[in-house]
């Protein structure tokens, strides 16, 4: 199953273009932090989880919380990537020296 299809199953109320952008943002973040040029297959679920965070952030449109009558809604993903996901990303880092040595 493609990543976009899996993300659509997780977030049925989201637009497919927005979900694709969230997947691209998640891939970019993973590659930036880990010093990689591609995302290995074993990081697929991590990319999906990060894309879900990014998509929920986009759907919230910068709104942290709101109250309508007696109902209060709080958006948890408006500022930071959850610590558990960030630890998983950092576990896949490549040292820059190793990347340079492998290229030579």
Identify which has the larger pLDDT, 5 or 74.
5
Q: Would you say the C-alpha torsion 27, 30, 33, 36 has a positive or negative sign?
A: negative
Cβ atoms of 59 and 75 closer than 8 Å: no
Identify which has the larger pLDDT, 49 or 69.
49
> Which tens digits make up the pLDDT trace of 52-101?
988 888 887 666 666 777 777 665 555 678 888 899 999 998 876 655 55
> Which tens digits make up the pLDDT trace of 7-46?
999 888 888 899 999 999 999 999 999 999 999 899 999 9
Quote the strand ranges of the chain, DSSP E: 65-68, 71-74
End-to-end CA distance of the chain: 36
Q: What is the pLDDT of residue 5?
A: 92
The reported pTM is 0.75
């Amino acid at each position: 199953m493609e990543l976009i299809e899996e993300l659509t199953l997780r977030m049925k109320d989201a637009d497919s273009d927005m979900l694709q952008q969230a997947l691209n943002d998640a891939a970019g973040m993973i590659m930036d932090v880990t010093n990689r040029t591609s995302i290995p297959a074993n990081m697929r679920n991590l990319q999906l989880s990060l894309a879900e965070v990014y998509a929920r952030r986009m759907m919230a449109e910068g709104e942290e919380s709101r109250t309508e009558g007696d109902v209060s809604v709080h958006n948890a993903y408006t500022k930071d990537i959850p610590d558990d996901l960030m630890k998983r990303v950092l576990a896949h880092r490549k040292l820059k020296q190793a990347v340079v040595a492998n290229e030579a």
